[in-house]
Amino acid sequence: MSRIKITDTSLRDGHQSLWATRMATEDMLPILENLDDVGYHSMEVWGGATFDVCIRYLNEDPWERLRSIRKQVKKTKLQMLLRGQSLVGYSHYPDDIVYRFVEKSAENGIDIIRVFDALNDIRNLEVPLKAIKATGKHAQACVVYTISPVHTMDHFVETALRLREMGADSICIKDMAGLLSPYKAYDLVTELKKNLDVPIQLHTHYIGGMAIAALLKAVEAGVDIIDTASVPMAFGSSQPPVETIVRALQDSDRDSGLELHKLFDIATHFEEIRKHKGFERGVTRINDMKVFEHQVPGGMISNLLSQLEEQKALHRVDEVMAEIPYVRADLGYPPLVTPTSQIIAIQAVLNVLMGGRYKLCPGEVKDYVRGLYGKPPVSISDEIRHKIIGDEEIITVRPADLLEPGWEKAKQEVAEWAESDEDVLTYVLFPQVALKYFGWRKSKGLEDASLINKGEYLTVDMYQPENAAVNRLAGPKRNIHRRDEEMNFEEIKELILLLDKSSLAELEMQSDEFRLSLRKSVSNTRVTVTGDNDLPISSPAPTAVNEPENIVEVTAPMVGTFYAAPSPDAQPFVKVGDKVTAGQTLCIVEAMKLMNEIKAEVSGLITDAPILNGEPVEYGQILFVIEKE
């Protein structure tokens, strides 16, 4: 028997599963050479949530991360995870975008692209596989593993065979929720090896504790490659630790040949990062082990907990977990993996928070029911379908067949901001977040330049969220802050007056020490200054006092980000002075990475709309005031 090959997931799935993908590139760079020297089959370093988190939370360019990793990893193949036609996002993209994205991923340094479709709907993998083959890189296609009445051994083997026919260079069993029992792993690998002529890889999650045994049984059955992570990023909802697997196999004919002392050096580096940044260890709690009941995948559990915490509803986690299997059955037993895991989870959260099933359904849930993500493993009943999308028809074609080409349009839309084709792709994937990031990048550049060149002044930029354009102040540069002085409140006041007089809606400045953000709203101008201590200095949101009975306040049903329009370049859904009818969409609140349309419950006149586009909202915060007809 040949040596087992190992893929290291530390820089993608490992920290995605345990640290909410928050490891920064600077934490990775010092250890890349060591990782490269281990003799791994490949290193999974990109895709999945890394792309989104880079621009949303880390102010990093994900493409730049990939290039810096590639620069230092010279021997080991770099691997990424692609969500089929959804790429690294959450909805399907047009075929031309898929081709471009894959081409650019290869160009920036990826050798192996692992691709899956959440529903195992292989129609959704046709174009991604063609795109990968066109680059000449290795195309690994996934069979997504889950347990349900329809996910039989025949289904998995049949899916794998068809993916092989479509050009897959290897097949990965993707057990994202750690559901694969050791003996099932043995049988599944045996069947796949019997039927296929390409390497088989096993990707599993530790969560309930079966993964080490599952890997060993899979190795026994002849699996070619397995996924593990460095121990500070192993266990819990992540992969099993490489150290344990390497040692366990040393006494077998499948010895990996990897050296433990090299692995421990790497683990020591990651452990220091973990301690320094306060990241969690992978542990398994009773709740985690209930994965055997609810099947929620690793990454999703930590997300769900932090989202519930944000919604101040952490105490309802058991109810949400109990609701998940019902929603999953109602929606045709999709495997729980991005994006279906989010779709099922948010619907379960909403069913619990709203005190009834399907009272509020996010756009993504509706799209799923419409068939826009592909075909659910089991057809959704008429009753459930009607509750969620009414009398609308469902589609039966490959979802991306309905999409217009997107590249040229996006390129034009973001022309002012994009510095490369990679930027255009970032924009296509996450339009709102990308514009924020590009704005930050631009202002950072200006600020850095002025600080470095002149040594003492910061530059202030005017930022209009409505059309996402940054306009430099007309006339001479307005320098407002000497670097060595404390923030002067008279100066802030002056800025507020300036903003009030201008036609602009928002003003932001950022320095090493603090971030100043001024936003104009209908009723007041809000100021936040955050520094090292994140101290807000003034103006909380307005609170309502004894509103008359015909006044209805529309409040945020969840913590999230407020969007006034369906897309950055579109008109707002409504504005002050508009008449609305019950059921009309007022805005979108993005929460748990999903867009939730908020609708008017009564007809009437919009008299206030205090929240600005792109602004974060708290649970219960007033979004609109409607004067009932």
Site for Co ion, rule CB under 5 A: 13, 176
Nearest to 553 by CA among 594, 596, 610: 610
Q: Measured from the CB atom, is 118 or 418 closer to Co ion?
A: 118
Q: Measured from the CB atom, is 84 or 439 closer to Co ion?
A: 84
**Least distance to Co ion from the beta carbon of 16, Å?**
8
Q: How far apart are CA 237 and CA 208, in angstroms?
A: 8
Element containing residue 410 per DSSP (H, E): helix 407-413
**Least distance to Co ion from the beta carbon of 126, Å?**
23
**Least distance to Co ion from the beta carbon of 50, Å?**
12
DSSP state of 281: P
Q: Measured from the CB atom, is 163 or 176 closer to Co ion?
A: 176
**Least distance to Co ion from the beta carbon of 341, Å?**
11
Identify residue 369 by its one-letter amino acid code: V
Contacts for 15 with CB less than 8 Å, ≥ 6 apart = 21, 22, 23, 233, 279
Q: How far apart are CA 109 and CA 69, in angstroms?
A: 8
- Cβ atoms of 49 and 302 within 8 Å: the answer is no
Identify residue 404 by its one-letter amino acid code: E
Q: Measured from the CB atom, is 201 or 613 closer to Co ion?
A: 201
Q: Measured from the CB atom, is 46 or 624 closer to Co ion?
A: 46
Q: What's the Cα-to-Cα distance from 156 to each of 62, 184, 619, rounded to whole Å?
A: 33, 12, 42
Helix (H, G, I), strand (E, B), or coil: what is residue 282?
A: strand
**Least distance to Co ion from the beta carbon of 292, Å?**
18
**Least distance to Co ion from the beta carbon of 238, Å?**
8
Q: Measured from the CB atom, is 235 or 573 closer to Co ion?
A: 235
- Cβ atoms of 105 and 298 within 8 Å: the answer is no
Q: Measured from the CB atom, is 28 or 180 closer to Co ion?
A: 180
**Least distance to Co ion from the beta carbon of 413, Å?**
33
Q: How far apart are CA 102 and CA 80, in angstroms?
A: 10
Q: How far apart are CA 613 and CA 427, in angstroms?
A: 17
Which DSSP string corresponds to 564-589? SSSSTTSPPS--TT-EE-TT-EEEEE
Q: How far apart are CA 596 and CA 528, in angstroms?
A: 26
Element containing residue 36 per DSSP (H, E): helix 32-38
**Least distance to Co ion from the beta carbon of 174, Å?**
7
- Cβ atoms of 552 and 626 within 8 Å: the answer is yes
Q: Measured from the CB atom, is 176 or 480 closer to Co ion?
A: 176
DSSP state of 67: H
Q: Measured from the CB atom, is 13 or 27 closer to Co ion?
A: 13
Q: Which residue is nearest to Co ion (CB)?
A: 13
**Least distance to Co ion from the beta carbon of 297, Å?**
7
